[in-house]
Amino acid sequence: MTWRAWAPDAAVGLAVLLLGLVEVLDIDPYRYPDDPRPALVAFVLGIAAAAALSRRLPAVALALVWALCVLQVLTGTQLLMIELAFGVVAFGTARWGGTATVLASALSIPVSAAIAVVWIQPSVFYDALSTAGFASLVRPSSWSDQWQLTAALLGMSVLGVPWLAGLALRFSSRARQSRSFQQAAEAERDQAEEIARLREEQAQLARDVHDVVGHSLAVILAQAESAQYLDEVDTKGLKRTMENIATSARTSLDDVRQVLASTSGAAAAPVRHADLDSLVEGVRASGHEVRSTEVGAPQPMPPELEVVAFRVLQEMLTNAIKHGRRDQPVHVERHWEGDLRIEVENAVDRASEETQPIRSVPGGQGLEGMRGRLEAVGGRLDVRRRSDPPRFTATAWIPLRRTP
């Protein structure tokens, strides 16, 4: 610790030392058989040291005060008004001391008053008041039987008031620190929530781009593969296929722009129920046979649920195109009974590794992406692989009203 840190404490100790020396030098040595000033100077040095240590080392300062007081009682040394500086030590122990030091200083106040009443001689008490010019506070002729009460009250006031002030500042400082810690904790919590929100937005963006691009590329790939089986003279079929590829690419580009616009704060056009039919028609245009059925009357849904239904069906159809057999139809069912239930079933090759359940792509895409979307709105996802006949079925339940 540098000397600058100790400068305020040294200034307090120096001030107490100078005042004490002035008081000691003012004592008339001829009133005593022996000159008491050398012993009192040493006593003043101890008081100044205790005052200087009261902030940095309050326990040491309290112990030094007790040592001085015990020596004063045992030797009958004259009381000095500079001993009022013990109030500085009382303040320091209550303000900066540890728990044990605070308790010890609190007990020291009544104990020191009791010692003063029992052991200090009246002449010592009167001499101290007379030297300081306060002899009028106590008249021995009229207060001879009650000087102890006066001494006890003065001692309790000198020590008790600073001690209570130090304790009040201690609690006030702790309250400020508590508020500071609370504010810091709230700031960290807000920062963590903001980071979590940004991560969720990033994951949502990744899911959206995966669904849009993955579906479009799967449709475009299927259309390009189907073009290989067209006759060379079938220019109309080739043009129709190229037109479908262009339409799929254009739709994918528009969807990606819409996703990016939604993340930048721009208003994005909501996905409507009719777009579910457009997904089915897009897969049909790629050359896959799709058998779509709808049970019940379609019901209106909030925009966020419409987006979930669109993305989930999009991912289901993408998986059916990528992992299903081209020569078998894809079955799409939509049931509007209580919740919206979307089921997509496709045939798989028994001998192919693709008969295994579709694994989610690391990072939250694939099945895990669909499951995360559905669970966020109170829905659920079920995937099953049946062996006879080999088929893969994905079923999603979407509440018609968003779960709070």
In a domain, 166, yes or no: yes
Give the best-scoring range by mean pLDDT among 11-15, 118-122, 248-252, 398-402.
Answer: 11-15
Whole-angstrom Cα distance, residue 268 to residue 242? 29
Lowest mean pLDDT among 110-119, 122-131, 232-241: 122-131
Q: Of 118-127, 135-144, 264-273, which one has max mean pLDDT?
A: 118-127
Look at residue 233 and tell me if it is in a domain.
no
**Helices marked H in 120-146:** 122-132, 140-143
Identify the pLDDT of residue 402. 53
Residue 248 in any domain: the answer is no
| Tokens at 180, concatenated | 């500071």
- Residue 151 shares a structural domain with residue 11: yes
Query: Mind listing the pLDDT tens digit for each residue in 267-293?
Result: 444 444 447 888 888 888 777 888 999
Letter for the amino acid at 244? N
Residues 7 and 143 in one domain: yes
- Residue 42 is assigned to a structural domain of this protein: yes
Quick one: 180 and 294 in the same domain?
no
The pLDDT, as a whole number, for residue 361 is 38
The contacts of residue 5 (CB under 8 Å, 6+ apart) are: none
For residue 60, pLDDT beyond 50? yes
172-to-95, 166, 176, 177, 179 alpha-carbon distances in Å: 10, 10, 6, 9, 11
pTM to 2 decimal places: 0.50
pLDDT, tens only, 365-401: 578 878 888 988 899 999 988 887 888 999 999 998 7
Looking at the predicted structure, is the pLDDT value of residue 344 above 90? Answer: yes
Assign residue 297 the CATH number of its domain: 3.30.565.10
Closest CA to 342 of 364, 318, 317: 317
Domain boundary pick from 144, 166, 188: 188
Q: Which helix (H) or strand (E) holds 1?
A: none
Q: Is residue 7 part of a domain?
A: yes
Query: Residue ranges of the alpha helices (H) in 26-85?
Result: 37-53, 58-75
Domain end call among 188, 210, 228: 188
219-235 pLDDT, tens digit per residue, is 777 777 667 666 766 77
Strand 330-337, strand 290-295: pairing: parallel
Residue 21 inside a domain? The answer is yes
pLDDT at 103: 94
In a domain, 237, yes or no: no
Task: Tell me, yes or no, whether 29 and 166 share the same domain.
Answer: yes
Give the distance from CA 189 to its chain's centroid: 3
Q: Which of 165, 188, 211 is the last residue of a domain?
A: 188
Which contacts qualify for 251-257: CB closer than 8 Å, 24 or more apart?
251/216, 251/282, 252/212, 252/213, 252/215, 252/216, 252/217, 255/212, 255/216, 256/209, 256/212, 256/213
Looking at every residue in the chain, the average pLDDT score rounds to 80
Q: What is the mean pLDDT of residues 36-53?
A: 92
What secondary structure letter does DSSP report for 401? S
Average pLDDT value for residue range 348-364: 50
How confident is the model over 171-216, as pLDDT tens digits? 999 898 888 899 988 988 998 888 888 887 777 777 777 777 777 7
Asked if the model's pLDDT at residue 247 lies above 80, the reply is no
Residue numbers of the domain that contains 46: 3-188
Please report whether residue 227 resides in a domain.
Answer: no
Whole-number Å distance between alpha carbons of 59 and 42: 21
So what's the pLDDT on residue 364? 39
Which pLDDT value is given to residue 212?
A: 74
pLDDT at 124: 57
Domain count, the chain: 2
What tokens appear for 193 in the block?
Answer: 């929530």
